[in-house]
Amino acid sequence: MRIFHVSEEDDLQEFQPRVPTRKDLDQSKGLVWAVNETCLPNFLTPRNCPRVCFRVGPNTSNADKERYLSSSYQYVVIIEKRWADMITNTPLYLYEFNPETFYLQDDNAGYYVSERTQVPMNKMKIKNPLQELFRRQVEVRFVDLLWDSYDEIQQTTFHWSMCRMRYAKPRS
C-alpha cells in the first residue's frame, strides 16, 4: 500500500501530529493525515478548491453507473468552472510516507493517520494537476455550481467525498 500527503508547499521536511479540528474526531491526540493511492484523486486539486468526488465501489448499482457515468471512467471529480485555471496552473507535491505506523481512519475516504512525526520517504511534483487526473483515468467535470451534485451523489451507491465545500459558490 502507498499513502500520500498532498500539498502546495514544496519544502516540507517533516509532518508533526496535529489535533484534529473536526468535532467528530478525538481531539485528545494529534494526527498526521495521509490518503491511499485509490482515493488520491480527491486531493489532486488546489487545497481550497471545492469539489465533489465519486467512484465506483463494490456495491455501486448498475442504475447509478448508467445515470452518473458518461464514459468508461470509474472515477469522477466535479469542480466549479472558476477553478479551471487554478487546477491547471497550481503545482502540487505528493509526499509519500512509509505506511508502517499509519492506521486506517476512514475506509471510504482512504484516510490513514499516524500519531507519530513523519518524515516523507519520497516527494513528487505534479506540475499540472488536471493532466495528472486524466493520467489516472479520472473524469473531470466543470460546473457553475456544485450543490446539485453534492445533494445527488450522497443519495447514490458510489463511494463519494465532498471536499472544501465551504469555499463553494453559495446556492442561488
pTM equals 0.93
Structurally, the chain folds into a number of domains equal to: 1
> Is 58 part of any domain?
yes
Question: Do the bridges between strand 139-143 and strand 75-80 make them parallel or antiparallel, or are there none, so unpaired?
Answer: parallel
Q: What is the pLDDT of residues 40-55, one digit of tens each?
A: 999 999 999 999 999 9
pLDDT at 75: 97
- Cα 81 to Cα 89: distance, rounded to the nearest angstrom: 14
> Is 72 part of any domain?
yes
Q: What is the pLDDT of residues 67-100, one digit of tens each?
A: 999 878 999 999 999 999 999 999 999 999 999 9
pLDDT at 71: 78
> Is 137 part of any domain?
yes
